[in-house]
Structure 1
Amino acid sequence: MNDLSTILSEPAARLGASTITLGHVLAVATLLFLGLFVALVIALWRSAKARAVAAAEAADHARDAEARMAGILQSQAEMQGRMGAIAEVFGARQAELTQSIGQRLDAMTGRIGQTMTEQTKSTHESLAKLQERLAVIDTAQGNIQSLAGQVVQLQAILSNKQTRGAFGQSRMEAIVADGLPHGAYEFQATLSNGSRPDCLVKMPNGAPSLAIDAKFPLEAWNAIRAADNADLQKVAAQAFRRDIEVHIRDISEKYLLQGETQDTAFMFVPSESVFAEIHENFEAVVQKAHRARVIIVSPSLLMLSIQVIQAILKDARMREQAHLIQGEVIRLMEDVQRVDERVRKLQGHFGQSAKDIEDILVSTSKVTKRGQKIEALEFGEGEPDAPRGGAPAKVEAAPRAADSKTGQLRLRVVEGDD
């Protein structure tokens, strides 16, 4: 022991006035060894801690990737279910719409056919009734002579000119008002030349109106009935013929306007007996009236003419309704075409959605493969080689910023702290 103390106290070197012994050197060496040992222990502890932190972070990222994968798969399943439900709903709605449109078109076609059939039947019935009435008129011609006795009673009414005009006007207005709808005629209308016919019947399709005159001259007719001998009857007949011709000329000049009225006009005779007398004994007057495009009509013929005009107006209204129905059908077909175009656009959207789902599946497949690669990484139990400079290196896992969508991880090597 004394020998060891002597050895340690022996001088090993001198530094100025100070002497360094072996004991001093050994103490310094011991302190240096202890410092190096402590530093090595601290470095090993930090390296183990860094590996544990890296492993924990890798496990957390793996769990996040698995959770995202599960969420994506669940969303994909839900989206497929919803797409299937939407496709079924739209298929059912399209089938219902097609069926409804077909039913409506069938019903509309049936109604149009039924209406046309009814109108045709009504027209045939009206023509049959017209023929029957013509037959009745022909039969009534034989009974006209028996009505001559009633002319005496009519003379009392027609003796006054104003009363005569009011009588003819009222009879004509009653016949027209009973046969035509309101708005299809106009009494005492003023023409462009300032003349005022007793009635204007408005024709359909923008055709010119039909003028009717009810101011028939009956003074000469009354003179014929009042004549006692053949000479007076001859003079009265000439005056009657002259008055009718003047009246026919006035009607032709005043009421026949190009583009405003029809090419013909009616001269209304308020008595069937007067009408028969004119056609029986004044044939030249009737022919002159035809040449002047003036038709002499009795109450029965005026009623018949009004019924024919009524049938024409009804046929025009039916054609207007047919055009309206045809227009509605055309607009309905346009709506069906727009529905078909929108369904096709919706089908295109479905195709685009299916493509997007396929792209999502490709991305999820890539995420799965990259997760498997990360899971296959193994961190060794030994220490990694320390870089030059003495400090050991540690491995740290960090998410790559450019691959944040897919969750890919990358490894980077950083230098450990002292």
Structure 2
Amino acid sequence: MQESMRHILEENRELRREIDKKLSETHHASRQQMNQTIRTVQGITGQSAKLIGDVTEKLAKLDETNRQVINFSAQLQNLQDILKNPKQRGVLGEYFLEETLKNVLPPNAYKMQYGFKDGVIVDAAIFLQNKIIPIDSKFSLENYERILNSRDNEEREKWEKMFKQDLKNRIDETSKYIRPEENTMDFAFMFIPSEAIYYDLLINKVGAAQINTRDLIEYAFRDKKVIIVSPTSFFAYLQTVLQGLRALKIEESAKQIRNNVEKLGKHVAAYDEYLKKIGGSLGTTVNHFNNAHKEFEKIDKDVARITEGERVIEPLVLEKPQELA
């Protein structure tokens, strides 16, 4: 009986050890699984936080972009408002003209708002030696835009005629600044701030509409001595003017050098004449000296005859200075 009890107790102890072992293994596995789950959750949380941060940053950038777009739209609207107002559009054209001049020519080579004797003012004038090149800024836009937006052929022809008449009027206005009696050149520049309008004038087309503007360009140059330019073509003309100004400076420097050489030649000639006069004076002095010495020799001879002695004075004759060539 006791043996049976010991056997049962031993089996219980063995079973308890086995259970404890299993519980320990299960607890260890559960802890590892829990730690892994925690690490996984932490990783997911970190990625989520980073993703949220990235999304927040991109939303902030998008918000800034939206504000910039809104600001740009407002500026564009302001520009459109300016272009709708003829007076403000004229100010904008003059600004483009001044910036173009400022970027190429020295400040003393041009003047904005140049006034003639009768009080008429041209937008700008270039000074080339003693001549003036008048420049007028023109911006005929209303009928140009109407041609672009028109879908009816008959209406487009009406706007086309008005647009050409606008340009012709601007050409006539610019030609009034050609005043040779006030030292202007026999031509003037008509500055069109819009490259699009200038290009359309050259190719005889406004948008998709064919329009004959070649006769206007010929009318401007041949009849009115007006050269139509855009910012790009005007820049090329200004480069030529700049080279002319540099050539004038070189010519002015050469004139100054030539004048200085002429003055130096006159001074050398005067100095040569003065030296000749000094040489002549020295020659006269030498003659007087030699004559005086000869007279002194005569006295010496008289003394020698009276004393029956020898002459004590040796003849001394100075040579005259040679004449300068």
**TM-score bracket, shorter-length normalisation:** 0.5 to 0.7
SS of residue matched to 1:372: helix
SS of residue matched to 2:143: helix
1:168 is displaced (CA, Å) by 0.8
Residue 263 of structure 1 is aligned with which of 178, 181, 186?
Answer: 186
5+ residue gaps, structure 1, are 1-150, 378-418
Residue 138 of structure 2 is aligned with which of 215, 226, 235?
Answer: 215
After TM superposition, list the pairs within 5 Å mapping 1:170-185 onto structure 2.
170-185=95-110
AA matched with 2:198: F
Kindly indicate whether the alpha-carbon contact (under 8 Å) linking 1:216 and 1:267 is maintained by their aligned counterparts in 2: no
1:153 is displaced (CA, Å) by 10
Kindly indicate whether the alpha-carbon contact (under 8 Å) linking 1:227 and 1:233 is maintained by their aligned counterparts in 2: yes
Larger Cα-atom Rg: 1
| Alpha-carbon separation, structure 2, partners of 1:155 and 1:288 | 31
Q: Does 1:371 align with 2:288?
A: no
Kindly indicate whether the alpha-carbon contact (under 8 Å) linking 1:155 and 1:222 is maintained by their aligned counterparts in 2: no
Partner of 1:295: 227
Residue 289 of structure 2 is aligned with which of 349, 352, 357?
Answer: 357
1:376 is displaced (CA, Å) by 4.5
- Once the two structures are superposed, residues 210-245 of structure 1 have per-residue CA deviations (whole angstroms, 9 ceiling, x without a partner) of 111113221111222232333332222221111111
Q: Does 1:279 align with 2:211?
A: no
TM-score relative to the length of structure 1: 0.50
Kindly indicate whether the alpha-carbon contact (under 8 Å) linking 2:138 and 2:193 is maintained by their aligned counterparts in 1: no
| Alpha-carbon separation, structure 2, partners of 1:212 and 1:152 | 29
AA matched with 1:330: E
Q: 1:196 to 1:322 in 2, by over 3 A?
A: same
SS of residue matched to 1:313: helix
Q: Which gives a bigger RCO, structure 1 or 2 (Cα 8 Å, sep 6+)?
A: 1
Q: Does 1:198 align with 2:130?
A: no
SS of residue matched to 1:216: coil
TM-score relative to the length of structure 2: 0.64
After TM superposition, list the pairs within 5 Å mapping 1:233-272 onto structure 2.
233-252=156-175, 254-260=176-182, 261-272=184-195
Partner of 1:330: 262
| Alpha-carbon separation, structure 1, partners of 2:214 and 2:98 | 28
| Alpha-carbon separation, structure 2, partners of 1:187 and 1:275 | 23
Alignment RMSD, CA only? 2.3
Partner of 1:343: 275
SS of residue matched to 1:296: strand
SS of residue matched to 1:267: strand
Partner of 2:236: 304
Kindly indicate whether the alpha-carbon contact (under 8 Å) linking 2:112 and 2:123 is maintained by their aligned counterparts in 1: yes
SS of residue matched to 1:273: helix
- Once the two structures are superposed, residues 225-279 of structure 1 have per-residue CA deviations (whole angstroms, 9 ceiling, x without a partner) of 2323333322222211111111212222x31223222221111110211101112
AA matched with 1:319: E
SS of residue matched to 1:352: helix
SS of residue matched to 1:255: coil
SS of residue matched to 1:259: helix
Kindly indicate whether the alpha-carbon contact (under 8 Å) linking 2:187 and 2:227 is maintained by their aligned counterparts in 1: yes
Partner of 1:164: 89
Taking only the aligned residue pairs, the percentage that are identical comes to 28
